[in-house]
Amino acid sequence: MSAVGTFLTRRRGGDRWDWTDIVTFLWLGAGVFIMFGPALWLVLSSFKSPAQLSEFPPTLLPYEARTAVVEGYDKPLPLFVVTDDSGTRTLAEVRRVGTIAQMVDPENPATMERINIANRTPDRAVGFSWGNYLDPFLRFDFLKYTQNSIFVTGVATLITLLTNSMAAFALSKYDFRGRNTVVVLIIATLMIPLSVILVPLYSIVSGVGLINSLWGVILPTVATPTGVFLLRQYMLTIPDELLEAARMDHASEWQIYWRIVLPLTAPALAVLAIFSVVWRWNDFLWPLIVLSRQEVYTLQVGLNAYAGELNVQWHYLLAMTVITMIPVVLVFVFLQRFITAGIAGTGLK
């Protein structure tokens, strides 16, 4: 805690607070609020019940109505704080007719009171609706969707790293006629958005019978121009003498790629892995088109099912959005040091 205190009272230097210190903290504070505010709002809201989500004005923290088991009633009854001529007391609602609620005192269930609803407020405490998280997994197919998403993301990332690094190796370390043309062609495909090739791509995937198969989602996405370009630029910095030394050392071209170039490209591979995981995990449009059967849905497509035409189940949607965010956050937490390490230097010299 003292470390946080030290951090938050850091100054530019000197004994007194300078106006720049204050501006800096305000500026950074605003940045933190803008970046983390929505995420925090999402996480907190994901624990709210549907009724609370539609409440106005909204509350920051999730609340749950307190209930009490009252003798003579099967279900627990919601509690309200009632304030009227007889003073302030906590009563349980039995039923409500128009603006009048029939309520009983949990201590004294025999006497029924008729209370105007203007005179009462729900008795609530901070509470979490875990059901938002549990129901999609227990009652719906979200466990299956999650498995599908993990499979698609994992396999697609592995294949992406393998194929892109092989292409990058050839394009950076072999000198052949038309090499630059190929590089330019690959980079040029960056300019073509998915929506342009959606229809022909669908015909191809459908033609090879991969509709409603996870491979239909994986295969068309693994060859990324960004990945090839990123890795190629990195591999260009690996000295050719290393490859020649390996060639003198009886290494086959595959071994040169696998044992020399690939390990040295690790920082760039980490960056591409992060990108690939984020892309594939968050992919929506293409899986939505390829996958039409529930059992092959990925998380993002499954989420879409909660946003119906007439009714949006916000509580599930928010909870599952939080779930879908977790892997991306984890990837950044654990792999970001590879990014900085990759920038800091390769250990070559």
Contact footprint for another protein (CB under 8 A)? 239, 241-242, 244-252, 255, 259-260, 263-264, 346-349
Closest approach of Cβ 162 to another protein, in Å?
A: 19
Closest approach of Cβ 269 to another protein, in Å?
A: 13
Q: How far apart are the first and last CA of the chain?
A: 41
Closest approach of Cβ 266 to another protein, in Å?
A: 8
Closest approach of Cβ 247 to another protein, in Å?
A: 5
Name the E strands within the chain.
Answer: 63-65, 67-68, 77-84, 87-97, 100-105, 108-116, 120-122, 124-126
Nearer to another protein, 244 or 295 (CB): 244
Asked if omega into 327 is within 30° of 0 (cis), the reply is: no
Burial of 20 (0-12, 13-18, 19+ CB in 10 A): exposed
Q: For residue 235, give every residue at least 6 positions away whose Cβ sits within 8 Å of its Cβ, in sequence order, or none.
A: 168, 169, 172, 173, 261, 265, 268
Nearer to another protein, 263 or 308 (CB): 263
Vertex 337, ends 334 and 339: CA angle to 5°? 110
Nearer to another protein, 114 or 349 (CB): 349
Nearer to another protein, 121 or 237 (CB): 237
Closest approach of Cβ 264 to another protein, in Å?
A: 6
Nearer to another protein, 252 or 336 (CB): 252
Pull the structure tokens for residue 196: 């342009």
Q: For residue 221, give every residue at least 6 positions away whose Cβ sits within 8 Å of its Cβ, in sequence order, or none.
A: 156, 160, 279, 280, 283, 286
Nearer to another protein, 197 or 344 (CB): 344
Closest approach of Cβ 250 to another protein, in Å?
A: 4
Nearer to another protein, 77 or 246 (CB): 246
Inter-helix orientation angle 225-235/266-282, to 10°: 170
Closest approach of Cβ 256 to another protein, in Å?
A: 10
Cα 281 to Cα 18: distance, rounded to the nearest angstrom: 46
Nearer to another protein, 312 or 344 (CB): 344
Instruction: Say if strands 87-97 and 100-105 run parallel, antiparallel, or are unpaired.
Output: antiparallel
- Alpha helix locations (H) across 236-297? 240-248, 253-255, 262-264, 266-282, 285-290
Closest approach of Cβ 168 to another protein, in Å?
A: 18
Cα Rg of the chain, angstroms: 29
